[in-house]
Amino acid sequence: MTTHASGTVYIETYGCQMNVSDSELMYGRLAEFGYVAVGSPDEADVILVNTCAIRDHAEQRVIGRLGELKRHMKPNSVLGVTGCMAQRLGPRLLKSAKHVQLVIGPDGYRALPSLVEGARNGVRASSVEFDLEEHYEDFRAQRFDGVKAWIPVQRGCDYKCTYCIVPMTRGPERSRRLLDVVREARGIAESGITEITLLGQTVNSYNDGQHDFAALLRAVGAVSGVRRLRFTSPHPNDFSERVIDAMAETPAVCEHVHLPMQSGSSNVLKRMLRRYTRESYLDCVARLRSAIPGMGLTTDIIVGFPGETDQDFEDTLSAVREIGFDDAFTFKFSAREGTAATRMPESLTVPDATASKRLARLIETVRDGMRAQNLGLLGARREILIEKVSRRGTLLQGRTRDFRTVLVPGDDSMIGQYQTVELTGTTGSTFTGGVVSERLQLPVAV
């Protein structure tokens, strides 16, 4: 291992938290080899774009950005594409974008320093092999957020939802060993970070051969200094009673679940190969809510999946109303090359104009539900963890345990603190609040 200064690196990250976490691992890996992180591409000897392939739009953004980055490159800097789009396109990307020197998929980051070295000497390369043993255990993630941290506990996905590219870009599911996750959680807590989010594509199917997700929640929840424990994204079919009990009985586990529903129609769910029905999804929600009273619930929904009829879409709207989600990420179906959905009869294709109309109605329905829930909370008190200065710059932004955003007055010395606030106003989606207590004492980490 060398530690002399080798240069500067800038990583731009697209896509999900798994990519954010992978970028932290890449920064860490390159730091071991003497690369110093910088905040803009203009200063960087190495520019990496960590990409997402989930929808066509995500890829188009990256292609546009790669064109722009050309103008930011110094004469000798290296431009690499990593992540899911790199995995999906591999050498095709080297052919189509001549100024890109490296294409590295999610299991190839161990070789990053040598590939970068090679590229600096003019060798273009793509590395897109899956490595089912690879968890980057010896990497030291370089984290830039001092308040909360991600821990990947599982890589890949063994579901085969017919719309989804992830099994192709991330390979088969594999879990890290519980002891390794706990060791990482201890290190994070010792650094003063109190909130941890466990990551996996179907995180509650976690199994390291000896421990299931219930055991993992209890073990990480028991780490001294971990005051809030979250996880994303769980799959409805993997919420065993053991997992739900562990959530309810582990004080650090936050009262919030992000539970992708995708559709409220059993017909559509079947063609999506989600492996649950509308009824069994509702049943999963009911089991969670009865074990964890007051739980926040958010979801992902796709409209315009092949064969989605007006009635199927109405079923989605009625499920949204019946369940009362606190928020939802909503998407128009995007056909992804190589997925089973692209092999469905063309007659099932939903016209784009129909999908757009459905999306607009869905967003409105989600907003109405969210506003109703949030208005009902005005006057309530909640504990928030203050995460950062809000985007508008004058207020601080915090989150409740049930994942609601609250803006409060204060100064940046309060970032990282827990405060009890009264919810005084709502835009419908976020809250404004006022601090009602002095700083709560943090449990002392030993």
Closer Cβ to ligand SAH, 127 or 233, answer by number: 233
Q: Per rule CB under 6 A, is residue 333 in the interface with ligand SAH? A: yes
Taking the C-alpha atoms of residue 179 and residue 223, their distance in angstroms, rounded to an integer, is 12
Closer Cβ to ligand SF4, 41 or 156, answer by number: 156
Closer Cβ to ligand SAH, 9 or 166, answer by number: 166
The contact pattern for ligand SAH, residues 197-226, with x = CB under 6 A and - = no contact, is: ----xx------------------------
Q: Residue 51 forms beta bridges with which residues? A: 83
Q: Which residues of 21-53 are buried (b: 16+ CB within 10 A; e: fewer)?
A: bbbbbbbbbbbebebeebeebeebbbbbbbbbb
Q: Per rule CB under 6 A, is residue 300 in the interface with ligand SAH? A: yes
Closer Cβ to ligand SF4, 147 or 168, answer by number: 168
Which one among 9, 16, 216, 328 touches ligand F3S, defined by CB under 6 A?
16
Dihedral Cα 98, 104, 106, 108, nearest 10 deg: 180
Stretch that binds ligand SAH, among 2-10, 113-121, 137-145, 331-339 (CB under 6 A): 331-339
Q: Per rule CB under 6 A, is residue 298 in the interface with ligand SAH? A: no
Which one among 78, 128, 166, 243 touches ligand F3S, defined by CB under 6 A?
166
Q: Per rule CB under 6 A, is residue 46 in the interface with ligand F3S? A: no
Residues within the interface to ligand SF4 (CB under 6 A): 157, 159-161, 164, 166-167, 201-202, 235
Closer Cβ to ligand SAH, 142 or 207, answer by number: 207
Smallest gap from Cβ 273 to ligand SAH, in A, equals 11
Closer Cβ to ligand F3S, 13 or 250, answer by number: 13
CA atoms within a 13 Å half-sphere pointing along the CA-CB vector of 404: 33
Query: Binding partner of residue 15 among ligand F3S, ligand SF4, ligand SAH, none, CB under 5 to 8 Å per kind?
Result: ligand F3S
Stretch that binds ligand F3S, among 15-23, 115-123, 293-301, 433-441 (CB under 6 A): 15-23
Q: Which residue has the tokens 């955003």?
A: 405
Closer Cβ to ligand SF4, 260 or 307, answer by number: 260
C-beta atoms surrounding 368 within 10 Å: 13
Return phi, psi of residue 268, to 5°: -65, -45
Q: Per rule CB under 6 A, is residue 373 in the interface with ligand SAH? A: no
Taking the C-alpha atoms of residue 200 and residue 186, their distance in angstroms, rounded to an integer, is 19
Which one among 52, 116, 185, 252 touches ligand F3S, defined by CB under 6 A?
52
Q: Per rule CB under 6 A, is residue 108 in the interface with ligand F3S? A: no
Closer Cβ to ligand F3S, 15 or 234, answer by number: 15
Smallest gap from Cβ 186 to ligand F3S, in A, equals 27
Q: Per rule CB under 6 A, is residue 426 in the interface with ligand SAH? A: no
Q: Per rule CB under 6 A, is residue 87 in the interface with ligand SAH? A: no
Q: Per rule CB under 6 A, is residue 174 in the interface with ligand SAH? A: no
Taking the C-alpha atoms of residue 395 and residue 411, their distance in angstroms, rounded to an integer, is 8
Q: Per rule CB under 6 A, is residue 15 in the interface with ligand F3S? A: yes
Q: Per rule CB under 6 A, is residue 199 in the interface with ligand F3S? A: no
Q: Per rule CB under 6 A, is residue 262 in the interface with ligand SAH? A: yes
Q: Per rule CB under 6 A, is residue 18 in the interface with ligand SAH? A: no
Stretch that binds ligand F3S, among 35-43, 46-54, 207-215, 372-380 (CB under 6 A): 46-54
Smallest gap from Cβ 33 to ligand F3S, in A, equals 25
Residues making contact with ligand SAH (CB under 6 A): 54-55, 163-164, 166, 201-202, 233, 235, 260, 262, 300, 302, 331, 333-334, 336
- Contacts with ligand F3S by CB under 6 A lie at 15-16, 18-19, 52-54, 83-84, 165-166, 169-170
